[in-house]
Amino acid sequence: MEFRYLGNSGFKVSEITFGNWLTHGSQVENDVATECVRAALDAGISTFDTADVYANTAAETVLGAALKNERRESLEIFTKVYGPTGPKGKNDLGLSRKHIMESINGSLRRLQTDYVDLYQAHRYDFETPLEETMQAFADIVRQGKALYIGVSEWTAEQLREGHALSKELGFQLISNQPQYSMLWRVIEAEVVPTSEELGVSQIVWSPMAQGVLSGKYLPGQPAPEGSRATDQKGGAKMIERWMRDDVLAGVQELKPIAEEAGLSMPQLAVAWVLQNPNVASAIVGASRPEQIADSVEAAGVKLEAEVLKRIDDAIGSLAERDPAQTKSPPKREA
């Protein structure tokens, strides 16, 4: 495993982060989830990402139990706040001071830890003054409940405003967690250049485009049984944007490129996002322990310029690049 600094800080994370968004606490049994965490640890992954909204807090509980007997100082544990949790009452979502302060305490309890290494604003909250949100984060850092602060899916302008406030309030905003893959490149035009200027790193999710870049989905053929595209609990909806024959055909053109590079298709997809110097870590998930070992092989891989060009030629106009696609939920109805 290789490690990279997160933002303009002295904090290092593993190039591969284990995330439990679509699986733990909902789609796989807890014992299998624990086995996946064990496999991640055995593979050298030390960084774990979750959120209170995943499986309505159950994912945090599963992760906390799985990491309970590990040396805390050897781990980097991330979680997030914003989405609706609990009974989803009027103050059970967003980035108000009330919701943030109550949420960090709940997350720490479920994760069975005194602090998280990185606490992230899961989306931008148009309903709450940014000053209120950032002051709450500053207080959490001073209380020792979080060591660093990050955000997720913020635009370049939102990052700039949040970063300025964090400096005024005496803490570091060091990361952004956006979607990023060969097929979803919306952060490249604005978010990445701004982040490089500010000293903010990307921790990217869905580097395999919900599994489409694994190559297992073939144009003109039904999705394999048991795959995410057949999962009606949520996975199918997330992946449907890529389940077009033109996209699937383009992905198939990546197979010889991966083979010549000595990589599997998933490894090529993860290695590709890690070629971006502003990316500190790629988040991978797993519903089976053996999936972890394959993804980890992408750490430390260097893709030559010719390989990167061949990938661009294969994907071409199929990739989404519009910066406007980086967005948070709109203002809530009164």
d(CA 163, CA 24): 32
Closest to 20 (Cα-Cα) out of 42, 4, 35: 35
Amino acid present at 160: R
Q: Could you tell me the end-to-end alpha-carbon distance of the chain, in angstroms, rounded to an integer?
A: 48
- Report the alpha-carbon distance of residue 231 to residue 255 in Å, rounded: 25
Helix, strand, coil percentages for the chain (3-state, nearest 5): 45, 15, 40
Determine the pLDDT at residue 35.
87
Q: What is the pLDDT of residues 38-87, one digit of tens each?
A: 999 999 999 999 999 988 898 999 999 999 999 999 999 999 999 998 88
Q: Which two tokens stand for residue 156?
A: 């370049």
CA–CA distance, 93 with 179 (Å, rounded to integer): 22
Which segments of the chain have a pLDDT < 70? 22-29, 226-236, 333-334
What DSSP letter does each residue of 181-249 carry, written as one string? BTTB-TTTTTHHHHHHHHT-EEEEB-TTGGGGGGT-S-TTSPPPTTSGGG-TTTHHHHHGGG-SHHHHH
Fold annotation for 3-208+273-301: TIM Barrel (3.20.20)
Q: Which of 54, 82, 124, 180 is catalytic?
A: 54
pLDDT in the model for residue 236: 63
Note whether 116 and 175 are within 8 A (CB): no
Give the per-residue pLDDT at 24. Answer: 45
H-helix or E-strand containing 160?
Answer: helix 156-169
pTM comes to: 0.92
Asked about 124 being catalytic, the answer comes back as no
Name the token pair of 157: 């302008």
Residue 19 makes CB contacts below 8 A (sequence gap 6+) with: 48, 49, 50, 205, 283, 284, 285
Instruction: Check residue 151 and give its pLDDT.
Output: 98
DSSP letter at 107 equals: H
3-state secondary structure of 149: strand
Q: Are strands 3-5 and 12-14 parallel, antiparallel or unpaired?
A: antiparallel
Which pLDDT does position 235 carry in this prediction? 63
Q: At 214, which amino acid appears?
A: S
Distance CA 207, CA 294 (A): 14
Cα separation, 21 vs 2, whole angstroms: 23
**Amino acid, res. 209:** A
Tell me if 83 sits within 8 A of 52, measured CB to CB.
yes
pLDDT value, residue 25: 45
User: 322 in helix, strand or coil?
Assistant: coil
Which residues are paired to 4 by β-bridges? Answer: 13
